[in-house]
Structure 1
Amino acid sequence: MKKLIAAALTGALVLGTVGTSVVFAADDDKTITVAASETPHSEILEAAKPILEEEGYDLEVTVFDDYVQPNEVVESGDFDANYFQHIPYLNSFNEEKGTHLVNAGGIHYEPFGIYPGTKSSLDDIADGDTIAVPNDTTNEARALLLLQDNGIIKLKDGAGLEATVNDIEENPYNVEIVELAAEQVARVAEETSYIVLNGNYALQAGYSVSKDALAYETSDSEAAKTYVNVIAVKEGNENSDKIKALVDVLKSDEIKDFINEKYDGAVIPFEDSDDAEAEDTEAADAEADTADEAAEETDAE
């Protein structure tokens, strides 16, 4: 848990804004203020702006470059929502900081990947190689689990999402795990053998999952469900009209198409069971309507 506090001390500056300056949450129910990571979150939100505008909402997005401030400004009420994190991190943050943030809707997930550093293939791994990983609680565990899945280390049974370097039980290559703030991992690619990146930081560094990753989480993995990126709000606001409108637009076919076309598999729209059931219901209704129309035409004949 100390790592979460350390994260607050690294990179805790606002990078800039996307289409707006730093703002406080407006009283106007038609204004939606969202704190977001730059890539892909703010880009997806920008694509949603014109759709929300057609529905009468003004979406204002502010970009942050750390994992702490976006939660703090939502907890304080300065922003309506944030879009940058997955559920394990949200739960961990609430537990450590005493915040009251909840998931208002899952939007996408980003496959975690192992990328080249000074070495371009996992086949070249050798004794004493260095591997840089994010140091925040949940993402470090995710990185270590991916390394385990690829035979580089073995973790203690049951380590799971709480795994740290102290849980490495077998290390046949004697790799050195270099723990860094997530936003710093890509910067040491020329100094370490391999780097393990969050999807958004891989995109910011110019990496393509399909072209550059040496290994990554697959779309049918448990990670897709566990690490879905969500719209987070302060508890009690998840059912407000504007938050529902925001989530609905971000889960719309238009935004799904935007994500699939722009990120080429590096970012994948998330569909939970409710989404699937809704789509099945819509399809069934459409089939029923078609059948009714056909029956009416037959009767008319």
Structure 2
Amino acid sequence: MVPVGGEFFYVIEGPATAAGQGIVVTTRWRQQKKNGEWGKPQSAGITIADIPQLADAVDREILTTLLGAADPYMAGYNHSYPRTTFNLSGPITDRALRLLASIRRLYLRGEGDPLDVIRPVSADTGSPWTFRPDITTADDGTVHLHGRLTRDDETMALIEPQLLLPAGYVIARGALARLEHGGAFPWLARLRQSGPAVIPPDAASLLVEALARTGVDPSVLPPALQYEVVDATPRPAVKIVRPPGLERAHYRLDSQATPVLRPKPPHNGNFWRTGEFSPLFDAFLAAARERVSPDA
């Protein structure tokens, strides 16, 4: 049933969104009192059949978009039942967020906030914020990894935003703005959570490899750590194995080349194979910290 005599508003649920459940948006409804004040917000369940009955064309467009969003958490859900929660992911995210921010009825519930504590979010139409990794080497060979957000002549600490979204958005200073993280969002999220990291000298090559696997621009690295990606020429190979106790041998064809990371001239160093390396950012940084002495 569509409420009458009030207005819809929309809340980005920070805790659920930060937990990796997509961008979680809930719909709420508030009634205006005779004195002009708004009454206590209530959850507002919506079905597809309710859309044509809505008086506000913008709400019709927004809710149609939300209901049409692919939501893996709602697989098998009977869409004739009202929904109050929507998980945005994929191509529809940009359209939905632009619509939501444009109507001045978008709010954010931050992590740790009660259900009734929400803060307004406006649309920031300025330049995107850009994640800038700051990587330096100390005299003792340790590598210091931190970062910041920049825009034009502005700088923002990683801990300042209220919410960072892998889809390329940031909610900061009460506004929803674009975010360019260059594919390095895992590093951005980890540095925001744990703070600057100190990497011991003998783990520097692993750091470079992990940064390369996540698409971080090598130009942000200190000169001694910059690299070039070299693709090796594929070489067909046959591997023959006969397990113990079996008369038949097994063979496998392999023509996959393994790219390598080559230190950028004029610096010398080993070749770091990317191989099957899969960087686990939190585990890597935690292990690196354990290897650094208290005085490092």
Same fold at TM > 0.5 = no
Tell me: higher relative CO, structure 1 or 2? Use CA pairs within 8 A at least 6 residues apart: 1
Larger radius of gyration: 2
Which is helix-richer, 1 or 2?
1
Q: Which has the higher strand share?
A: 2
- In the superposition, the TM-score normalised over structure 1's length comes to 0.24
TM-score between both structures, scaled by the size of structure 2: 0.24
